[in-house]
Structure 1
């Protein structure tokens, strides 16, 4: 992505469910220096126990909340407005990188922008890095109203998808791949985690 004389692309990094920007920063420390990464916290305080409790210090956040069956969502519109506001205030971003809940949002935003429903006040997203993601409206997740048509057309944004063989989101991740034009996939043998790639 970087050629001589050009700056590294700037990625806005969206944390996973009930984690934090600081945790994602620590998990991606090997990526630092290779890409220009900016980390932001989700807007909602975690409303339950975090899976990273005991490994990382609180506080933990969420982007939005949902019913246990993933068919009804709360605070989703506010979440998208929060992300767009952050992008307006901080800098133009070339891409989005997300893990888990952050990856699900990142994957949907280009299609939502195409529909004129989200992040329309900022430059178009040029790249996506999706780590352990899934698809709204797919086999596992319902679709918030705002993202109902996010995948109605193939997403033409260049995308890198990193997926674990043992990830509980593997099937939704494969389904998400089918929504992109020419996605690039990296598999790793672990589960729902950020793999330590070489």
Structure 2
């Protein structure tokens, strides 16, 4: 993802001279959205990093397009005396969004993990109320000793819960990217700058 962001950020300048900012940002948001939806659809207990590579790459491409051009749009409408304020607001927004995104997705993943463990702990017959169980591995060892036929089912339930949690996290990311895509379409079109023409008569003076 970082490699894709670096490549697209380096090539972003060429796009801005040919395509309106609203369309560039819409393309970037759509690319990131397609990557997120892809990850949500293909994620399962047997997903490998190679399976996830196309989605991760599309996310990086989209972010690599959005990051530099969103800054260009912000500074293009700010007057010279407003540049410091615009820079501060933009950086604050980036840090705030990053922090909130990390916190929300972190809570979703943690709650999903605890929910999966709760499914395992519901088997009261396998876990003694008087014996202290520390760690998931020790829990599975006890389940396997006391009820060998149930351990595979519990592991399967835990994996399914993890998959559902990851899918839900990707759905949140997709929803945010979809909102960004819609907002980008409302960015006003920029007027093309007229080329300075030289009067052929005055040029000889």
Shorter chain as normaliser: what TM range?
A: under 0.3
Q: TM-score, normalised by structure 1?
A: 0.21
Larger relative contact order (CA 8 Å, sep ≥ 6): 2
Q: TM-score, normalised by structure 2?
A: 0.20
Larger % of helix: which?
A: 2
Larger radius of gyration: 2
